[in-house]
């Protein structure tokens, strides 16, 4: 009886956290959807972008969907545990099992089709570089987005400063200030200074960030999988106990 009560409390706390996380993700998704200055504006300025990239424009819908699913899971888990409802507990178990299987399938697909991902990245790089050379310094929204990104990550262009060659901003031989080190005054970031500064590209910075946090990302992924398995086990234990009443 004591063990059953402990499991109910843990189930309620765990799913309460899921419910709150779902509410937060749902809120972010709604915010991204209504925020006209979000990063999604950058995608609209990419010319000859691969068709797969256009799916990123639906990121707000993805966040909203994920948030809604987490809200439902949290609600089912909390109510199922407190009310000891076999129907709610079984529904909770099925949803978590489906999500777990999808995660496993996604991991397998990413591992098997690495070459497809590499080809997609090459297409994205080509589209981004062309967009910079065509619109940077002319399109205000794209320019401000790139400036904010480069300032935040202390990087220059997608790969390096040469991507700004021939852009509207480069018509006087100047490059964005973030492409030069901090000792270069504003308005003097020339090709010579940019070459000497050798500031890393934003894509390389992003890869480095992922590599530096690879262990944390792996630990989080394993932790999430473990929690999902634990949640399924606990829900079935409570389901079994509820059936005896």
**How many structural domains does the chain have?**
2
Render pLDDT for 156-174 as a digit per residue (tens, 0 to 9).
Answer: 999 999 999 989 998 888 9
In a domain, 88, yes or no: yes
The number of beta carbons lying within 10 Å of the beta carbon of residue 226 is 10
pLDDT at 57: 52
CATH number of domain containing 180: 1.10.1450
What pTM does this model have? 0.57
Domain assignment of residue 119, yes or no: yes
For the chain, which residues score pLDDT lower than 70? 1-4, 32-33, 35-59, 110, 113-118, 120, 243-245
Quick: pLDDT tens for 23-46: 888 887 777 667 644 455 555 555
Gap between the Cα atoms of 221 and 226, Å rounded: 9
Distance from chain centroid for Cα 230: 25
Tokens of 244: 């005896």
Best CA proximity match to 37, nearest among 108, 141, 122: 141
- Same domain, yes or no: 99 and 172: no
């Amino acid at each position: 009886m004591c063990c059953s009560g402990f499991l109910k409390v843990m189930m309620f706390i765990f799913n309460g956290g899921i419910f709150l996380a779902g509410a937060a993700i749902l809120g972010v998704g709604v915010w991204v959807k209504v925020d006209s200055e979000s990063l999604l504006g950058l995608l609209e300025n990419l010319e000859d972008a691969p068709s797969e990239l256009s799916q990123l424009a639906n990121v707000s819908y993805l966040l909203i969907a994920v948030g809604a699913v987490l809200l439902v899971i949290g609600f089912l888990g909390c109510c199922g545990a407190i009310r000891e409802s076999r129907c709610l507990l079984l529904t909770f178990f099925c949803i978590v099992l489906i999500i777990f299987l999808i995660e496993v399938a996604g991991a397998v697909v990413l591992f098997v089709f690495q070459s497809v991902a590499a080809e997609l990245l090459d297409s994205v790089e080509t589209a981004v570089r062309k967009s910079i050379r065509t619109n940077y310094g002319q399109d205000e929204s794209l320019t401000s987005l790139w400036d904010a990104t480069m300032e935040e990550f202390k990087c220059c262009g997608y790969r390096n400063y040469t991507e700004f060659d021939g852009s509207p901003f480069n018509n006087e031989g100047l490059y964005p200030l973030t492409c030069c080190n901090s000792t270069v005054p504003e308005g003097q970031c020339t090709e010579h200074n940019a070459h000497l500064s050798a500031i890393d590209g934003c894509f390389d910075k992003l890869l480095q960030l992922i590599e530096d946090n690879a262990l944390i990302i792996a630990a989080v992924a394993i932790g999430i999988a473990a929690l999902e398995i634990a949640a399924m086990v606990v829900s079935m234990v409570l389901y079994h106990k509820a059936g005896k009443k």
